[in-house]
Structure 1
């Protein structure tokens, strides 16, 4: 099973590349934000726990998030070629806990890929996106810069963790989409375990 941590600051093009990777490798996109909203909407035990904490203004603890990821892994592992982790892990303890969870599924993270784009370019891209996205945080330069700073701080921690395992790769996120995609695929193919057959070329939606 192929498991990728794909990082990139807001505006780096991570969403576009994720969709191409999903189709190329038959992956499931695991966004912790999407999982959280789905569990709350379904009224599951994990969702109710998360909602109670959020209503009290508290952060959802790592163990609750890990529980949601575990649920998604079990729901999709029979059909998916692997998973793209989006928004998790963001700290070293989270990365360690994710490794432990994947080990229980006889799997692990193959590589972490970070798309790097200069802050000024990100600001330009997001302000332009804000004209059509309707998102307030894409229309306020101070908020954009704050998001980039938070991302850089979080990534630095997790990058070091995966670098120690020879799994971290940084790529220039500026350039033609297909060129960047080819570079990402080259990295992934280096880390893939040999298989008799290549994965099906199909897009999978996560079953929360």
Structure 2
């Protein structure tokens, strides 16, 4: 799972910024593209993010020894799971099985209270509900113990309110996965009435929903009489009052699962979700599509929201040619004569631009290149591989219609469109010019070339996500955005 949310901060930019300061030069700092490829392959950003988060949260007195201890764990991705839900929804059964499967520590309110610590002893002198502050201290103390540190944990049934959830976050108890089981009230009440307990193991069974396979276990089951039906109904009502706040506190790591189905199905859904991991990758996005499909517009929208660098190959070549340096002087004659710039020169320009620190830190969106099989292969061999490819699909008729409605402002160089991006004023509108390459004849020829190479490009990028571009730009952007973090 790729965390490209606009609210996420990668650890790498801070490190690269330090390099920039140490460099002490006005020349653009270049980060070899192999670094990003290697970091993706070995999940380096995820490792650094986890280590920095742990340091900030735990604030150890000896950070070096602490980090060594972190790296020596058998697994750096130890589970941190919270399992929530109303009474009788099946939390205990799922949590117990899950902790066994993951070899994680199963933590419940009962196990917290029965702990032999001095803090737990304070709870023995009150018959009232535990204060939120004391409960948070108990949880923090338990999850900081060595077994939870080394194996991870599954926390069952707590927190019970948004206040508790936020208090836990403040002391560094931050789950990676939160599962919320749900079921209709009538199903929950029926399960409550038929609840059976194994006095030896504490496992929960039910006459209709979960029955033990072992006859010996079945013979020793006892009816659960720990709470009256009135108490259970009150607990259910309390949960219903708190569930919205709880959901909002964990919305970015939350999975709601319907528990009104066979237990095996519920458990498999929980296990599948908990086994997903959030890997932090600097986005390197490639937008493919015919002329008129909206690549430039969508790149601009992605760049504005997610702060990635918008790299339009055509504009980049013109910019390099305009700077008058050696490489630009080689490119200028091709632009003047309307001839394609050789791939070798294009790749030099792209390698220089995509290796700059802004692209390495914030990621990039490339469009306008590659256009054929050889260009795509050259891009792959140059280590400038994208880690997400989108293909904007559109018919030729719609492409021609769209392009015929666009024009360029000769003063600013900006491109406008009569429908999707109209000129901001009548003054700008009056000076707009239609480029020769936007004529119907030229566009038809370009489309023909694009269709010839489409299948070849797809062979290089078989995992490219196809997006229907024949809809309004906002809908296309939503479709792109929804797939940014997909597996």
- 5+ residue gaps, structure 2: 1-281, 408-417, 419-428
Secondary structure at the residue paired with 1:115? strand
Whether the aligned pair in 1 keeps the contact of 2:309 and 2:358 (CA below 8 Å) is: no
CA separation in 1, counterparts of 2:455 and 2:371? 9
Q: Which has the larger radius of gyration?
A: 2
Stretch of structure 1 that moved more, 36-45 or 135-144: 135-144
- Rate the CA distance shift 1:128–1:97 in 2: closer, same or farther, 3 A: closer
Residue 100 of structure 1: which of 358, 375, 381 is its match?
Answer: 381
Please name the residue that 2:472 is paired with.
176
- Between the aligned partners of 2:334 and 2:291, the Cα distance in structure 1 is 26
Q: Paired residue for 1:31?
A: 312
Q: TM-score, normalised by structure 2?
A: 0.35
CA deviations 1:99-145 (Å, max 9, x no partner) are 23336xxxx31122111112222222223336765224476433332
TM-score norm. by structure 1 comes to 0.75
Q: Which runs of 5+ in 1 are unaligned?
A: 192-208
| 1:149-160 paired onto structure 2 within 5 Å | 149-160=448-459
- Contact 1:127 / 1:140 at 8 angstroms: preserved in 2? yes
Tell me whether 1:148 sits opposite 2:447 in the alignment: yes
Task: Specify which structure has the higher proportion of helix.
Answer: 1
CA RMSD, 1 decimal: 2.6
CA separation of 1:43/1:172 partners in 2, compared to 1, >3 Å: closer, same or farther? same
Structure 1 partner of 2:292? 11
Q: Which protein has greater RCO, CA pairs closer than 8 Å, 6+ apart?
A: 1
Note the 1:30-49 alignment, pairs <5 A: 30-49=311-330
Find the counterpart in structure 2 of residue 86 from structure 1: 367
Displacement after TM superposition at 1:72 (Å): 0.8
Cα distance in 2 for residues equivalent to 1:72 and 1:33: 13
Measured at CA, do residues 136 and 51 of structure 1 come closer, stay the same or move farther in structure 2, by a change above 3 Å?
Answer: closer
Tell me, yes or no, if the aligned pair for 2:296 and 2:312 is still in contact at 8 Å: no
Asked if structure 2 preserves the Cα contact closer than 8 Å seen for 1:29 and 1:83, the reply is yes
Q: Give the secondary structure class of the aligned counterpart of 1:102.
A: coil
Change (3 A) 1:16 1:43: same
Cα distance in 1 for partners of 2:317, 2:326 equals 12
Residue of structure 2 in register with 1:194 after alignment = none
Alpha-carbon spacing, 1:155–1:80, altered in 2? closer, same or farther (3 Å): farther
